[in-house]
Structure 1
Amino acid sequence: MHRGKGMKFVGDSRVLAPESRTPKLPKDYSEYPGKTEAFWPNFLLKEWMVGAVFLVGFLCLTVAHPAPLERIADPTDTGYIPLPDWYFLFLYQLLKYTYASGPYTVIGSMVIPALAFGGLLLAPFIDRGPERRPIKRPLATGFMLLALCAMIYLTWQSVVTHDWAAAERQGRIVPKVTIDKTSEGYKLAQQNTCITCHGENLQGGPGAPSLIGTGLKPEEIATIARKGKGGKMPPGVFKGNDQQLKTLSEFIANLGKK
Protein backbone atom coordinates (compact mmCIF):
# COMPACT_ATOMS: atom_id res chain seq x y z
CA MET A 1 0.00 0.00 0.00
CA HIS A 2 1.47 3.30 -1.08
CA ARG A 3 1.64 6.26 1.20
CA GLY A 4 -1.49 8.47 0.96
CA LYS A 5 -3.49 5.96 -1.03
CA GLY A 6 -7.17 5.94 -0.04
CA MET A 7 -7.16 9.34 1.75
CA LYS A 8 -10.34 11.44 1.34
CA PHE A 9 -10.73 15.28 1.60
CA VAL A 10 -14.01 16.19 3.24
CA GLY A 11 -15.30 19.77 3.04
CA ASP A 12 -17.55 21.40 5.65
CA SER A 13 -20.68 22.79 4.00
CA ARG A 14 -21.17 25.28 6.87
CA VAL A 15 -18.13 27.29 5.79
CA LEU A 16 -18.89 29.37 2.73
CA ALA A 17 -16.36 29.81 0.04
CA PRO A 18 -14.94 33.38 -0.16
CA GLU A 19 -16.37 33.99 -3.62
CA SER A 20 -19.91 33.04 -2.46
CA ARG A 21 -20.00 35.54 0.44
CA THR A 22 -22.14 38.66 -0.20
CA PRO A 23 -22.25 41.79 2.02
CA LYS A 24 -25.42 42.14 4.07
CA LEU A 25 -26.54 45.56 2.91
CA PRO A 26 -30.06 47.02 3.30
CA LYS A 27 -32.27 46.95 0.25
CA ASP A 28 -32.27 49.92 -2.05
CA TYR A 29 -35.06 52.44 -1.44
CA SER A 30 -36.27 51.94 -5.03
CA GLU A 31 -37.54 48.49 -4.01
CA TYR A 32 -40.19 50.21 -1.86
CA PRO A 33 -41.96 52.59 -4.26
CA GLY A 34 -44.06 55.29 -2.59
CA LYS A 35 -42.93 54.45 0.94
CA THR A 36 -39.43 55.86 1.24
CA GLU A 37 -36.87 57.92 -0.60
CA ALA A 38 -33.21 58.80 -0.49
CA PHE A 39 -32.28 61.09 2.40
CA TRP A 40 -29.72 62.89 0.25
CA PRO A 41 -30.58 64.84 -1.77
CA ASN A 42 -34.33 64.13 -2.17
CA PHE A 43 -35.66 64.36 1.40
CA LEU A 44 -33.18 66.94 2.67
CA LEU A 45 -33.78 69.23 -0.31
CA LYS A 46 -37.52 69.23 0.37
CA GLU A 47 -36.93 70.07 4.03
CA TRP A 48 -34.67 72.98 3.09
CA MET A 49 -37.19 74.35 0.59
CA VAL A 50 -40.04 74.26 3.11
CA GLY A 51 -37.83 75.84 5.76
CA ALA A 52 -36.79 78.61 3.35
CA VAL A 53 -40.44 79.44 2.54
CA PHE A 54 -41.34 79.75 6.23
CA LEU A 55 -38.20 81.80 6.96
CA VAL A 56 -38.98 84.29 4.17
CA GLY A 57 -42.59 84.54 5.36
CA PHE A 58 -41.45 85.15 8.94
CA LEU A 59 -39.00 87.86 7.85
CA CYS A 60 -41.75 89.59 5.83
CA LEU A 61 -44.01 89.49 8.90
CA THR A 62 -41.36 91.06 11.14
CA VAL A 63 -40.77 93.84 8.60
CA ALA A 64 -44.49 94.56 8.17
CA HIS A 65 -45.30 94.40 11.90
CA PRO A 66 -42.23 95.27 14.02
CA ALA A 67 -42.27 94.34 17.69
CA PRO A 68 -43.65 97.19 19.82
CA LEU A 69 -41.40 98.72 22.43
CA GLU A 70 -42.48 99.38 25.99
CA ARG A 71 -41.05 101.32 28.86
CA ILE A 72 -38.06 100.10 30.82
CA ALA A 73 -38.97 97.21 33.10
CA ASP A 74 -39.60 98.23 36.67
CA PRO A 75 -39.28 95.35 39.19
CA THR A 76 -41.05 97.42 41.84
CA ASP A 77 -44.21 97.80 39.72
CA THR A 78 -46.36 94.93 40.97
CA GLY A 79 -49.35 96.10 38.96
CA TYR A 80 -47.75 95.39 35.59
CA ILE A 81 -49.22 92.31 33.91
CA PRO A 82 -46.75 90.81 31.39
CA LEU A 83 -48.03 89.16 28.24
CA PRO A 84 -46.01 86.26 26.76
CA ASP A 85 -45.19 85.89 23.09
CA TRP A 86 -47.90 84.57 20.78
CA TYR A 87 -46.60 80.99 20.78
CA PHE A 88 -47.09 80.78 24.57
CA LEU A 89 -50.50 82.46 24.70
CA PHE A 90 -52.32 79.11 24.90
CA LEU A 91 -50.44 78.24 28.11
CA TYR A 92 -51.07 81.76 29.42
CA GLN A 93 -54.80 81.29 28.85
CA LEU A 94 -54.75 77.81 30.38
CA LEU A 95 -53.49 79.27 33.67
CA LYS A 96 -56.62 81.44 33.91
CA TYR A 97 -58.94 78.48 34.42
CA THR A 98 -59.98 77.19 37.83
CA TYR A 99 -58.17 73.85 37.86
CA ALA A 100 -54.96 75.25 36.39
CA SER A 101 -54.44 78.31 38.59
CA GLY A 102 -54.45 79.32 42.24
CA PRO A 103 -53.83 76.21 44.37
CA TYR A 104 -53.70 74.14 41.16
CA THR A 105 -50.97 76.20 39.46
CA VAL A 106 -48.64 73.19 39.42
CA ILE A 107 -51.20 71.27 37.35
CA GLY A 108 -51.53 74.04 34.76
CA SER A 109 -47.90 75.06 34.59
CA MET A 110 -46.14 71.68 34.88
CA VAL A 111 -48.37 68.58 34.85
CA ILE A 112 -50.52 69.31 31.77
CA PRO A 113 -47.62 70.64 29.60
CA ALA A 114 -45.44 67.69 30.70
CA LEU A 115 -48.12 65.19 29.67
CA ALA A 116 -48.66 66.93 26.32
CA PHE A 117 -45.03 67.30 25.35
CA GLY A 118 -44.11 63.94 26.86
CA GLY A 119 -46.74 62.29 24.68
CA LEU A 120 -45.34 64.09 21.66
CA LEU A 121 -41.84 62.82 22.43
CA LEU A 122 -43.05 59.25 22.99
CA ALA A 123 -45.28 59.19 19.90
CA PRO A 124 -42.63 57.62 17.60
CA PHE A 125 -42.09 54.82 20.13
CA ILE A 126 -45.79 54.17 20.80
CA ASP A 127 -47.16 54.41 17.27
CA ARG A 128 -44.73 52.28 15.25
CA GLY A 129 -47.04 51.36 12.39
CA PRO A 130 -45.66 51.43 8.85
CA GLU A 131 -48.55 53.49 7.47
CA ARG A 132 -47.91 57.15 6.65
CA ARG A 133 -51.41 58.15 5.59
CA PRO A 134 -53.24 60.01 8.40
CA ILE A 135 -56.49 58.14 7.75
CA LYS A 136 -54.74 54.85 8.48
CA ARG A 137 -53.43 56.14 11.84
CA PRO A 138 -56.61 57.22 13.66
CA LEU A 139 -55.15 57.46 17.17
CA ALA A 140 -52.11 59.55 16.28
CA THR A 141 -54.11 61.76 13.91
CA GLY A 142 -56.92 62.22 16.43
CA PHE A 143 -54.63 63.24 19.28
CA MET A 144 -52.68 65.65 17.08
CA LEU A 145 -55.89 67.28 15.80
CA LEU A 146 -57.19 67.54 19.36
CA ALA A 147 -53.98 69.20 20.54
CA LEU A 148 -53.96 71.57 17.55
CA CYS A 149 -57.60 72.60 18.10
CA ALA A 150 -56.95 73.16 21.82
CA MET A 151 -53.93 75.37 21.11
CA ILE A 152 -55.83 77.43 18.53
CA TYR A 153 -58.84 77.86 20.81
CA LEU A 154 -56.77 78.85 23.87
CA THR A 155 -54.68 81.29 21.81
CA TRP A 156 -57.80 82.90 20.39
CA GLN A 157 -59.40 83.17 23.84
CA SER A 158 -56.27 84.77 25.23
CA VAL A 159 -56.29 87.42 22.50
CA VAL A 160 -59.98 88.34 22.69
CA THR A 161 -60.15 88.46 26.51
CA HIS A 162 -56.97 90.44 27.09
CA ASP A 163 -57.36 94.09 28.12
CA TRP A 164 -55.25 95.65 25.36
CA ALA A 165 -56.05 99.22 26.43
CA ALA A 166 -54.75 98.56 29.94
CA ALA A 167 -51.69 96.83 28.52
CA GLU A 168 -50.97 99.86 26.33
CA ARG A 169 -51.20 102.17 29.33
CA GLN A 170 -48.93 99.90 31.36
CA GLY A 171 -46.25 99.70 28.71
CA ARG A 172 -46.43 103.27 27.45
CA ILE A 173 -43.04 104.93 27.28
CA VAL A 174 -43.29 107.93 29.57
CA PRO A 175 -40.68 110.68 29.22
CA LYS A 176 -38.54 111.22 32.25
CA VAL A 177 -39.64 114.33 34.05
CA THR A 178 -38.02 116.01 37.01
CA ILE A 179 -40.78 116.76 39.47
CA ASP A 180 -40.38 119.56 41.95
CA LYS A 181 -41.54 117.85 45.10
CA THR A 182 -41.33 121.10 47.04
CA SER A 183 -43.92 122.80 44.85
CA GLU A 184 -47.42 123.59 46.06
CA GLY A 185 -48.96 121.39 43.36
CA TYR A 186 -47.03 118.29 44.45
CA LYS A 187 -47.89 118.90 48.09
CA LEU A 188 -51.56 119.06 47.15
CA ALA A 189 -51.18 115.79 45.24
CA GLN A 190 -49.77 114.23 48.41
CA GLN A 191 -52.53 115.62 50.61
CA ASN A 192 -55.26 114.32 48.29
CA THR A 193 -53.70 110.83 47.99
CA CYS A 194 -52.91 111.21 44.28
CA ILE A 195 -49.53 109.55 44.76
CA THR A 196 -51.18 106.53 46.41
CA CYS A 197 -52.55 105.35 43.06
CA HIS A 198 -50.45 107.24 40.52
CA GLY A 199 -47.06 106.66 42.16
CA GLU A 200 -44.60 108.86 44.00
CA ASN A 201 -43.37 110.35 40.73
CA LEU A 202 -46.88 110.36 39.21
CA GLN A 203 -45.69 107.84 36.64
CA GLY A 204 -48.74 105.62 37.08
CA GLY A 205 -49.48 102.60 39.21
CA PRO A 206 -51.65 99.49 39.41
CA GLY A 207 -54.81 100.38 37.50
CA ALA A 208 -53.93 104.09 37.45
CA PRO A 209 -52.54 105.91 34.39
CA SER A 210 -49.51 108.17 34.35
CA LEU A 211 -50.16 111.84 35.03
CA ILE A 212 -47.15 112.92 32.99
CA GLY A 213 -47.94 114.26 29.55
CA THR A 214 -51.67 113.60 29.71
CA GLY A 215 -52.46 116.25 27.10
CA LEU A 216 -55.46 117.36 29.18
CA LYS A 217 -56.31 120.95 29.96
CA PRO A 218 -56.40 122.15 33.60
CA GLU A 219 -60.20 122.42 33.42
CA GLU A 220 -60.50 118.80 32.29
CA ILE A 221 -58.21 117.63 35.08
CA ALA A 222 -60.25 119.63 37.63
CA THR A 223 -63.44 117.97 36.42
CA ILE A 224 -61.92 114.50 36.78
CA ALA A 225 -60.63 115.36 40.26
CA ARG A 226 -64.10 116.42 41.37
CA LYS A 227 -66.36 113.95 39.54
CA GLY A 228 -64.02 111.01 39.05
CA LYS A 229 -63.59 108.94 35.90
CA GLY A 230 -64.93 105.48 35.19
CA GLY A 231 -65.09 102.96 37.98
CA LYS A 232 -61.44 103.16 39.00
CA MET A 233 -61.41 106.78 40.19
CA PRO A 234 -64.44 107.58 42.34
CA PRO A 235 -65.84 111.11 42.64
CA GLY A 236 -64.92 113.36 45.54
CA VAL A 237 -61.27 112.30 45.81
CA PHE A 238 -60.13 115.92 45.90
CA LYS A 239 -60.99 117.55 49.26
CA GLY A 240 -59.54 121.07 48.83
CA ASN A 241 -61.05 124.37 47.78
CA ASP A 242 -61.33 125.82 44.28
CA GLN A 243 -58.01 127.66 44.45
CA GLN A 244 -56.17 124.51 45.53
CA LEU A 245 -57.89 122.55 42.78
CA LYS A 246 -56.74 125.10 40.21
CA THR A 247 -53.15 124.89 41.49
CA LEU A 248 -53.18 121.09 41.38
CA SER A 249 -54.78 120.97 37.92
CA GLU A 250 -52.23 123.38 36.44
CA PHE A 251 -49.40 121.45 38.07
CA ILE A 252 -50.55 118.14 36.52
CA ALA A 253 -51.35 119.70 33.13
CA ASN A 254 -47.82 121.10 32.85
CA LEU A 255 -46.07 117.82 33.70
CA GLY A 256 -44.08 116.60 30.73
CA LYS A 257 -44.38 119.85 28.78
CA LYS A 258 -41.19 121.34 27.44
Structure 2
Amino acid sequence: MHRGKGMKFVGDSRVPAERKPNIPKDYSEYPGKTEAFWPNFLLREWMVGAVFLVGFLVLTVAHPAPLERMADPTDSGYIPLPDWYFLFLYQLLKYEFAAGQYTVIGAVVIPGLAFGALLLAPWLDTSKERRPLKRPIASSLMLLAVASIIFLTWESVDDHDWEAAAQQGEIVEDIEVDESAAGYEIYQSQDSCIGCHGGDMLGGAAGPNIFESDYETEDVMEIIQNGIGDMPADQFDGTDEELEMLAAFIANDGQDPENGNGASEEDEEAGND
Protein backbone atom coordinates (compact mmCIF):
# COMPACT_ATOMS: atom_id res chain seq x y z
CA MET A 1 0.00 0.00 0.00
CA HIS A 2 1.34 3.35 -1.00
CA ARG A 3 2.01 5.89 1.65
CA GLY A 4 -1.07 7.95 2.50
CA LYS A 5 -3.46 5.85 0.45
CA GLY A 6 -6.86 5.66 2.11
CA MET A 7 -5.78 8.02 4.88
CA LYS A 8 -8.47 10.30 6.35
CA PHE A 9 -7.69 13.41 8.39
CA VAL A 10 -9.90 13.94 11.40
CA GLY A 11 -8.52 16.91 13.29
CA ASP A 12 -6.85 19.72 11.38
CA SER A 13 -7.98 18.38 8.04
CA ARG A 14 -7.54 20.65 5.01
CA VAL A 15 -8.42 18.15 2.28
CA PRO A 16 -11.67 16.23 2.81
CA ALA A 17 -11.66 12.58 1.91
CA GLU A 18 -14.95 12.87 0.04
CA ARG A 19 -15.87 16.13 -1.73
CA LYS A 20 -19.58 16.75 -1.91
CA PRO A 21 -21.30 19.53 -3.87
CA ASN A 22 -22.40 22.49 -1.76
CA ILE A 23 -26.14 21.95 -2.23
CA PRO A 24 -28.49 22.40 0.71
CA LYS A 25 -30.68 19.43 1.55
CA ASP A 26 -33.79 21.56 1.23
CA TYR A 27 -33.16 21.86 -2.50
CA SER A 28 -32.34 18.22 -3.16
CA GLU A 29 -35.59 17.79 -5.08
CA TYR A 30 -34.29 20.24 -7.72
CA PRO A 31 -30.98 18.64 -8.77
CA GLY A 32 -28.85 20.80 -11.04
CA LYS A 33 -31.30 23.75 -10.81
CA THR A 34 -30.15 25.42 -7.61
CA GLU A 35 -27.09 26.29 -5.60
CA ALA A 36 -26.20 27.51 -2.16
CA PHE A 37 -26.65 31.20 -1.46
CA TRP A 38 -23.38 31.26 0.47
CA PRO A 39 -20.83 31.34 -1.00
CA ASN A 40 -21.76 30.31 -4.56
CA PHE A 41 -24.54 32.76 -5.44
CA LEU A 42 -23.32 35.66 -3.29
CA LEU A 43 -19.78 35.48 -4.70
CA ARG A 44 -21.08 35.73 -8.25
CA GLU A 45 -23.27 38.69 -7.31
CA TRP A 46 -20.28 40.46 -5.75
CA MET A 47 -18.28 39.97 -8.91
CA VAL A 48 -21.06 41.39 -11.09
CA GLY A 49 -21.51 44.32 -8.70
CA ALA A 50 -17.77 45.08 -8.77
CA VAL A 51 -17.73 45.13 -12.58
CA PHE A 52 -20.79 47.39 -12.67
CA LEU A 53 -19.27 49.76 -10.10
CA VAL A 54 -16.02 50.08 -12.04
CA GLY A 55 -17.93 50.73 -15.26
CA PHE A 56 -20.09 53.35 -13.54
CA LEU A 57 -17.04 55.12 -12.14
CA VAL A 58 -15.41 55.18 -15.58
CA LEU A 59 -18.62 56.64 -17.04
CA THR A 60 -18.76 59.42 -14.43
CA VAL A 61 -15.14 60.35 -15.16
CA ALA A 62 -15.62 60.30 -18.95
CA HIS A 63 -18.94 62.17 -18.87
CA PRO A 64 -19.22 64.35 -15.73
CA ALA A 65 -22.65 65.49 -14.64
CA PRO A 66 -23.62 68.87 -16.15
CA LEU A 67 -23.87 71.73 -13.69
CA GLU A 68 -26.40 74.52 -13.86
CA ARG A 69 -26.44 77.97 -12.42
CA MET A 70 -27.46 78.60 -8.84
CA ALA A 71 -31.14 77.96 -8.24
CA ASP A 72 -33.41 80.99 -8.11
CA PRO A 73 -36.62 80.35 -6.11
CA THR A 74 -38.21 83.46 -7.61
CA ASP A 75 -37.89 82.16 -11.18
CA SER A 76 -41.40 80.90 -11.85
CA GLY A 77 -40.58 80.21 -15.49
CA TYR A 78 -38.02 77.52 -14.70
CA ILE A 79 -38.94 74.20 -16.32
CA PRO A 80 -37.84 71.33 -14.04
CA LEU A 81 -36.94 67.94 -15.44
CA PRO A 82 -36.76 64.85 -13.21
CA ASP A 83 -34.25 62.05 -13.61
CA TRP A 84 -34.73 59.68 -16.54
CA TYR A 85 -36.34 56.94 -14.46
CA PHE A 86 -39.17 59.32 -13.46
CA LEU A 87 -39.81 60.75 -16.92
CA PHE A 88 -42.80 58.47 -17.57
CA LEU A 89 -44.54 59.78 -14.45
CA TYR A 90 -43.58 63.34 -15.42
CA GLN A 91 -45.15 62.83 -18.86
CA LEU A 92 -48.29 61.34 -17.32
CA LEU A 93 -48.97 64.63 -15.53
CA LYS A 94 -49.14 66.46 -18.88
CA TYR A 95 -52.35 64.77 -20.00
CA GLU A 96 -55.72 66.36 -19.27
CA PHE A 97 -57.08 63.38 -17.36
CA ALA A 98 -54.11 63.50 -14.95
CA ALA A 99 -53.36 67.24 -14.73
CA GLY A 100 -54.95 70.38 -13.34
CA GLN A 101 -57.74 69.52 -10.95
CA TYR A 102 -57.11 65.82 -11.69
CA THR A 103 -53.45 65.93 -10.67
CA VAL A 104 -54.14 63.54 -7.81
CA ILE A 105 -55.12 60.90 -10.39
CA GLY A 106 -51.80 61.16 -12.23
CA ALA A 107 -49.65 61.63 -9.14
CA VAL A 108 -51.27 59.17 -6.70
CA VAL A 109 -54.07 57.01 -8.10
CA ILE A 110 -52.53 55.61 -11.33
CA PRO A 111 -49.01 55.04 -9.91
CA GLY A 112 -50.55 53.60 -6.74
CA LEU A 113 -52.61 51.07 -8.70
CA ALA A 114 -49.64 50.07 -10.84
CA PHE A 115 -47.15 49.59 -8.01
CA GLY A 116 -49.83 48.07 -5.77
CA ALA A 117 -50.57 45.44 -8.41
CA LEU A 118 -46.85 44.73 -8.67
CA LEU A 119 -46.60 44.21 -4.93
CA LEU A 120 -49.64 41.93 -4.89
CA ALA A 121 -48.52 39.92 -7.94
CA PRO A 122 -47.22 36.96 -5.90
CA TRP A 123 -50.65 36.55 -4.27
CA LEU A 124 -52.72 37.33 -7.37
CA ASP A 125 -50.87 34.90 -9.63
CA THR A 126 -50.31 31.64 -7.76
CA SER A 127 -49.61 29.49 -10.82
CA LYS A 128 -46.62 27.17 -10.57
CA GLU A 129 -45.93 27.60 -14.26
CA ARG A 130 -42.92 29.78 -15.05
CA ARG A 131 -42.94 29.87 -18.82
CA PRO A 132 -44.35 33.20 -20.17
CA LEU A 133 -46.43 31.49 -22.84
CA LYS A 134 -48.18 29.45 -20.16
CA ARG A 135 -49.08 32.60 -18.21
CA PRO A 136 -50.81 34.82 -20.79
CA ILE A 137 -52.49 37.20 -18.34
CA ALA A 138 -49.39 37.93 -16.26
CA SER A 139 -47.19 38.16 -19.34
CA SER A 140 -49.62 40.51 -21.12
CA LEU A 141 -49.88 42.84 -18.14
CA MET A 142 -46.10 42.97 -17.77
CA LEU A 143 -45.58 43.69 -21.47
CA LEU A 144 -48.27 46.39 -21.32
CA ALA A 145 -46.55 48.02 -18.33
CA VAL A 146 -43.12 47.94 -19.98
CA ALA A 147 -44.50 49.31 -23.26
CA SER A 148 -46.32 52.13 -21.41
CA ILE A 149 -43.18 53.14 -19.51
CA ILE A 150 -41.10 53.17 -22.70
CA PHE A 151 -43.72 55.17 -24.60
CA LEU A 152 -44.23 57.78 -21.87
CA THR A 153 -40.47 58.17 -21.41
CA TRP A 154 -40.00 58.67 -25.14
CA GLU A 155 -42.83 61.21 -25.27
CA SER A 156 -41.35 63.15 -22.37
CA VAL A 157 -37.94 63.33 -24.02
CA ASP A 158 -39.46 64.32 -27.37
CA ASP A 159 -41.74 67.04 -25.94
CA HIS A 160 -39.13 68.66 -23.70
CA ASP A 161 -37.61 71.92 -24.96
CA TRP A 162 -33.92 71.05 -24.61
CA GLU A 163 -32.73 74.40 -25.98
CA ALA A 164 -34.72 76.32 -23.39
CA ALA A 165 -33.51 73.92 -20.69
CA ALA A 166 -29.89 74.52 -21.67
CA GLN A 167 -30.47 78.27 -21.69
CA GLN A 168 -32.18 78.38 -18.31
CA GLY A 169 -29.43 76.30 -16.70
CA GLU A 170 -26.50 77.98 -18.39
CA ILE A 171 -23.91 79.33 -15.99
CA VAL A 172 -23.55 83.02 -16.74
CA GLU A 173 -21.04 85.51 -15.49
CA ASP A 174 -22.09 87.01 -12.19
CA ILE A 175 -23.25 90.59 -12.43
CA GLU A 176 -23.11 92.69 -9.31
CA VAL A 177 -26.45 94.46 -9.27
CA ASP A 178 -26.76 97.59 -7.18
CA GLU A 179 -29.60 96.53 -4.91
CA SER A 180 -29.65 99.95 -3.26
CA ALA A 181 -30.62 101.66 -6.52
CA ALA A 182 -34.15 102.92 -7.00
CA GLY A 183 -34.41 101.00 -10.28
CA TYR A 184 -33.81 97.70 -8.47
CA GLU A 185 -36.57 98.43 -5.96
CA ILE A 186 -38.95 99.20 -8.83
CA TYR A 187 -38.02 95.93 -10.52
CA GLN A 188 -38.67 93.95 -7.34
CA SER A 189 -42.18 95.41 -7.21
CA GLN A 190 -43.04 94.07 -10.68
CA ASP A 191 -44.24 90.47 -10.37
CA SER A 192 -44.55 90.11 -14.14
CA CYS A 193 -40.86 90.98 -14.57
CA ILE A 194 -39.69 88.62 -11.82
CA GLY A 195 -41.86 85.78 -13.12
CA CYS A 196 -39.98 85.74 -16.45
CA HIS A 197 -36.54 87.17 -15.75
CA GLY A 198 -36.09 85.95 -12.17
CA GLY A 199 -35.35 87.82 -9.00
CA ASP A 200 -31.66 88.11 -9.91
CA MET A 201 -32.57 89.53 -13.36
CA LEU A 202 -30.44 86.84 -15.05
CA GLY A 203 -33.36 85.26 -16.90
CA GLY A 204 -34.83 81.78 -17.06
CA ALA A 205 -36.93 79.58 -19.29
CA ALA A 206 -39.57 82.27 -19.85
CA GLY A 207 -37.27 85.26 -20.36
CA PRO A 208 -33.63 86.03 -21.21
CA ASN A 209 -30.96 87.75 -19.17
CA ILE A 210 -31.93 91.40 -18.89
CA PHE A 211 -28.33 92.56 -19.23
CA GLU A 212 -27.32 90.41 -22.22
CA SER A 213 -28.32 93.08 -24.78
CA ASP A 214 -26.78 96.53 -25.06
CA TYR A 215 -29.87 98.74 -25.19
CA GLU A 216 -30.18 102.43 -24.52
CA THR A 217 -32.70 103.78 -22.03
CA GLU A 218 -35.21 104.70 -24.75
CA ASP A 219 -34.94 101.22 -26.29
CA VAL A 220 -35.57 99.56 -22.93
CA MET A 221 -38.62 101.75 -22.32
CA GLU A 222 -40.03 100.86 -25.73
CA ILE A 223 -39.53 97.14 -25.12
CA ILE A 224 -41.20 97.30 -21.70
CA GLN A 225 -44.17 99.19 -23.12
CA ASN A 226 -44.64 97.41 -26.47
CA GLY A 227 -43.02 94.05 -25.80
CA ILE A 228 -40.63 92.12 -28.02
CA GLY A 229 -40.71 88.56 -29.32
CA ASP A 230 -42.66 86.40 -26.84
CA MET A 231 -42.71 89.24 -24.30
CA PRO A 232 -46.22 90.76 -24.18
CA ALA A 233 -46.86 94.48 -24.05
CA ASP A 234 -48.20 96.60 -21.19
CA GLN A 235 -46.79 94.43 -18.40
CA PHE A 236 -45.31 97.29 -16.38
CA ASP A 237 -47.38 98.42 -13.42
CA GLY A 238 -46.06 101.82 -12.41
CA THR A 239 -45.78 105.48 -13.31
CA ASP A 240 -43.93 106.93 -16.28
CA GLU A 241 -41.23 108.23 -13.95
CA GLU A 242 -40.71 104.76 -12.46
CA LEU A 243 -40.59 103.30 -15.96
CA GLU A 244 -37.82 105.69 -16.95
CA MET A 245 -35.86 104.95 -13.77
CA LEU A 246 -36.16 101.20 -14.35
CA ALA A 247 -35.13 101.51 -18.00
CA ALA A 248 -32.10 103.62 -17.07
CA PHE A 249 -31.14 101.08 -14.41
CA ILE A 250 -31.34 98.20 -16.90
CA ALA A 251 -29.49 100.13 -19.63
CA ASN A 252 -26.72 100.83 -17.12
CA ASP A 253 -26.27 97.06 -16.49
CA GLY A 254 -27.79 97.01 -13.04
CA GLN A 255 -26.04 100.08 -11.68
CA ASP A 256 -27.52 103.32 -10.45
CA PRO A 257 -27.33 105.78 -13.37
CA GLU A 258 -26.59 108.59 -10.95
CA ASN A 259 -23.35 106.83 -9.99
CA GLY A 260 -22.21 106.35 -13.60
CA ASN A 261 -21.13 102.86 -14.58
CA GLY A 262 -20.13 101.97 -11.04
CA ALA A 263 -16.38 102.18 -11.71
CA SER A 264 -14.14 104.86 -10.32
CA GLU A 265 -11.62 106.85 -12.38
CA GLU A 266 -8.74 105.03 -10.72
CA ASP A 267 -10.23 101.65 -11.83
CA GLU A 268 -10.59 102.92 -15.40
CA GLU A 269 -7.00 104.17 -15.47
CA ALA A 270 -5.79 100.83 -14.08
CA GLY A 271 -7.74 98.98 -16.76
CA ASN A 272 -6.29 101.18 -19.52
CA ASP A 273 -2.76 100.58 -18.23
TM normalised by structure 2 equals 0.63
Rounded to whole Å, the distance in 1 between the matches of 2:250 and 2:175 is: 17
Which of 133, 137, 140 does residue 139 from structure 1 map onto? 137
> Which of 153, 156, 163 is the matching residue for 1:155?
153
Q: Secondary structure at the match of 1:31?
A: coil
Q: Distance in 2 between matches of 1:98 and 1:158?
A: 15
Alignment CA distance shift 1:44-1:134 (3 Å): farther
Q: Kindly tell me: are residues 121 and 51 of structure 1, through their superposed partners in 2, closer, same or farther at Cα, counting changes over 3 Å?
A: farther
Conservation of the 8 A alpha-carbon contact between 1:195 and 1:201: no
Are 1:228 and 1:236, in contact at CA under 8 Å, matched by a contact in 2? yes
* Correspondence for 1:110: 108
Task: Provide structure 2 residue ranges, at least 5 long, that are not aligned to the other structure.
Answer: 1-23, 256-260, 262-270
Q: What CA distance in whole angstroms lies between the structure 2 residues aligned with 1:253 and 1:131? A: 72
Unmatched segments (≥5 aa) in structure 1: 1-25
SS at match of 1:160: helix
Aligned to 1:84: 82
Change (3 A) 1:202 1:95: same
Distance 1:78 1:87 in 2: 25
CA root-mean-square deviation = 4.1
TM-score by length of 1: 0.66
State the Cα deviation string for residues 131-160 of structure 1 (Å, max 9, x = none).
333333333322222211111111111111
Pairing of 1:108-257 with structure 2 (within 5 A): 108-180=106-178, 195=193, 197-199=196-198, 201-204=200-203, 207-212=206-211, 214=212, 216=213, 230=229, 232-233=230-231, 251-252=252-253
Amino acid at match of 2:175: V
* Equivalent in the alignment of 1:96: 94
Read off the aligned partner of 2:197 and give its amino acid letter.
Answer: H
Query: Partners of 1:86 and 1:46 in 2: how far apart?
Result: 29
Separation in 2 of the partners of 1:199 and 1:40? 58
**Paired residue for 2:59?**
61
**Shift of the alpha carbon at 1:252?**
4.5
The Cα offsets for residues 82-104 of structure 1, whole Å up to 9 and x where unpaired, read as 11111111100011111111111
Per-residue displacement from partner, 1:207-246 (whole Å, max 9, x unpaired)? 111123x2x5559x969x669653x136899x9xxxx9x9
- Relative contact order (C-alpha < 8 Å, sep 6+): which is higher? 2
Change (3 A) 1:114 1:198: closer
Alpha-carbon offset, residue 27 of structure 1: 4.5
Could you tell me how far apart the structure 1 residues matched to 2:198 and 2:81 are?
22
8 Å CA contact 1:228–1:235 kept in 2: the answer is yes
Aligned residues of 1:81 and 1:167 also touching (Cα < 8 A): yes
Which amino acid in structure 2 is aligned with residue 251 of structure 1?
A: N
Distance 1:87 1:172 in 2: 24
1:55-74 per-residue CA deviation (whole Å, 9 max, x = no partner) reads 33333332232222122222
- 1:72-126 deviations in Å (ceiling 9; x for gaps): 2222222222111111111000111111111111111111111111111112222
Structure 1 contact 199–205 (Cα < 8 Å) conserved:
yes
33, 40, 43: which one pairs with 1:42? 40
Rg comparison, structure with higher value: 1
Partners of 2:136 and 2:58 in 1: how far apart?
A: 36
